[in-house]
Amino acid sequence: MRLIDITKRCGVFVVIIWLAASLNFFLPKLSGQDPVRSKLLQQAALGGYVQSGIDDMVKVYEARFGLDRPLWQQYFSYIGDVVQLDFNYSIANYPRKVSDMIAEAVPWTVALLGMTTLLSFVIGTVLGALLAWPRAPRWMAWLMPPLWALHAIPFFLLGLILMYVFAFQVPWLPIFGGYSMGATPAMTLGFVADVARHAVLPALSIILVATGGWALGMRGMMVTTMGEDYVTFAESKGLSSFTIFSRYCLRNAILPQITAFALALGQILSGAVLVEVIFGYPGIGTLLFQAIRENDHFLIQGVVFTVIVALGLATLILDLVYPLLDPRISYQRT
């Protein structure tokens, strides 16, 4: 990958962000009405019952996005705000800023998703490689049917089942939330353990499903790779079977897995949103769920935009790191 390719790839990232912002801006307009405006007016009509400041918010909104201003002016002031990650105030929780609410939820999702995605990728890839390896223990063949079946199930559905079995029937693990009611978030050992206990079931429902997908993909790639000429030649070199397995088969078969990883992130995230909702896990997904319930457009737009940017950034990093793993696509001198 040359400098120009890197620039191009970063350009794609900018385009993704721009598209996401534009989508946020134009889609509500397409329906003819302005849902944000009507929701704001509705909230303001309730007046003192909610928060007094909401009237000011309506005024500001009208001034910037009011129908009296030309569309392009509205558009540019929106893009300007979004670039600074300013998504305005939450309509339903008025004095709070959308960006603050998102910042509170993000660590939970990043921790849950980061851990589960990495674990399932590593376990699944190694498992898939072993499943294709003729010298692997026989009993491993029995893992195939459950892996296949789990792989076909949506995350949150497995979550429901796990929740019923391990939190309701056999109350080993907490059923709801990110930490116990009344626990004060602090960096104490007790609190960390509490958080970990709450994360087990949501994490498990993602890991069990996602591992199967990685395992099946890897197995297919391994079978293809093991038929390559360089594996035959490696065997004729009298290499130990561990060397052939790790440095010749696995090392090459993992490359398409990493490409697939970038594409899978979006799907994993979509699934994880629902898992959070089911378990009431205090991350981005639950925040989004609340925003939808309360018809809080600014919050919905803020969450969606943040997630798209975060994922865009993740795939960008992945694409930039990939050449380090595959010398055929290398940073050349030009």
Partner 1 sequence: MQGFVRYLRRNTSLVVGSALLLFLLLFVVIGHFIVDVEDARALSVRPLQPPSWRYPFGTDRQGRDLLAVMVAGTPLTLRIGFIAGILGVAIGTVLAFVAAYYRGWADTIIRGIADIGLTVPGLLVLIIIAVSIRGGLTVNQMAIVVASLAWLNPTRTIRAQVLSLRERGYVEIARMSGMSGPAIIFFELMPNLLPYLAATLVNAISSAILASIGLEVLGLGPIDAPTLGMTLYWVNFNAAMINGWWWWWTAPTVIILIVFLGLFFVTVGLDEIANPRLRKSA
Partner 2 sequence: MSEVLRVQGLRVAFDHPLGLVQAVDDVSFSLQANERLGLAGESGSGKSTMALAILRMIKPPGRIQGGQVYLDGVELSALDEEGIRALRLAGIALVPQGSMNSLNPVMRIRAQIADALADHGVTPSRSDLDDRIAELLRTVGLRPEVANLYPHELSGGMKQRACIAIAICLRPKVIIADEPTSALDVVVQRQVMETLARVQRVLGCAIILVGHDMGLMAQFVDRLGVMYAGRLVEVAPIGEIITRARHPYTQALISSLPSLDVRGTMQGIPGLAPLLRDLPAGCAFHPRCGRAEDRCRAEKPAVRDFGPGQQAACHFA
Nearest CB to partner 2, comparing residues 225 and 290: 225
Instruction: Give 13's contacts (C-beta < 8 A, 6+ positions apart).
Output: 312, 313, 316
C-alpha distances in Å from residue 20, one per residue of 15, 230, 312, 334: 8, 44, 10, 33
Compute the least distance from the CB of residue 217 to partner 1, in Å: 13
Within 289-318, which residues bind partner 1 (CB under 8 A)? 289, 292-293, 295, 297, 300-301, 303-304, 307-308, 311-312, 315
We find the least distance from the C-beta atom of residue 330 to partner 2, in angstroms, to be 8
Query: Is residue 328 within the footprint of partner 2 (CB under 8 A)?
Result: yes
At which residue do the structure tokens 């069990």 appear?
208
Phi, then psi, of 89 in degrees rounded to 5: -85, 155
Interface pick for partner 1 out of 160, 173, 195, 231 (rule CB under 8 A): 160
Q: Cα separation of 250 and 133, whole Å?
A: 10
Length of the chain in terms of residues written:
334
* 249 burial level (CB within 10 Å; 0-12, 13-18, 19+): buried
Contact (Cβ atoms closer than 8 angstroms) between residue 227 and residue 233: no
- Rank residues 19 and 192 by Cβ distance to partner 1 and give the closer one: 19
Q: Please pick, from the candidates 112, 206, 269, 287, the single residue that binds partner 1 as defined by CB under 8 A.
A: 269
Contacts of 74 (CB under 8 A, 6+ apart): 25, 64, 65
Q: Which stretch binds partner 1 (CB under 8 A): 76-84, 197-205, 235-243, 257-265?
A: 257-265
Residues 201-220 binding partner 2 (CB under 8 A) are: none
Whether the CB-CB separation of 284 and 306 falls below 8 Å is answered with: yes
Determine if 228 is a binding residue for partner 2 (CB under 8 A). yes
Count Cα neighbours of 229 within 13 Å in the Cβ-side half-sphere.
0
23 forms part of the interface with partner 1 (CB under 8 A): yes
Instruction: Give the contact letters, 251-270, x = binds to partner 2 (CB under 8 A), - = no.
Output: xx--x---------------
Q: Rule CB under 8 A: say whether 198 interacts with partner 1.
A: no
Separation in Å, CA 71 to CA 78, 86, 309: 11, 20, 24
Taking the CB of residue 265, how many other CB atoms lie within 10 A of it?
18
Name the one range near partner 2 by CB under 8 A: 34-42, 140-148, 239-247, 268-276: 239-247
Interface residues with partner 1 (CB under 8 A) are 12, 15-16, 19-20, 23-24, 27-28, 30-31, 33, 35, 132, 148-149, 151-154, 156-157, 160-161, 163-164, 168, 175-176, 220, 223, 262-263, 265-267, 269-271, 273-274, 277-278, 288-289, 292-293, 295, 297, 300-301, 303-304, 307-308, 311-312, 315
Interface residues with partner 2 (CB under 8 A) are 134, 228-230, 232-240, 243, 247-248, 251-252, 255, 325-328
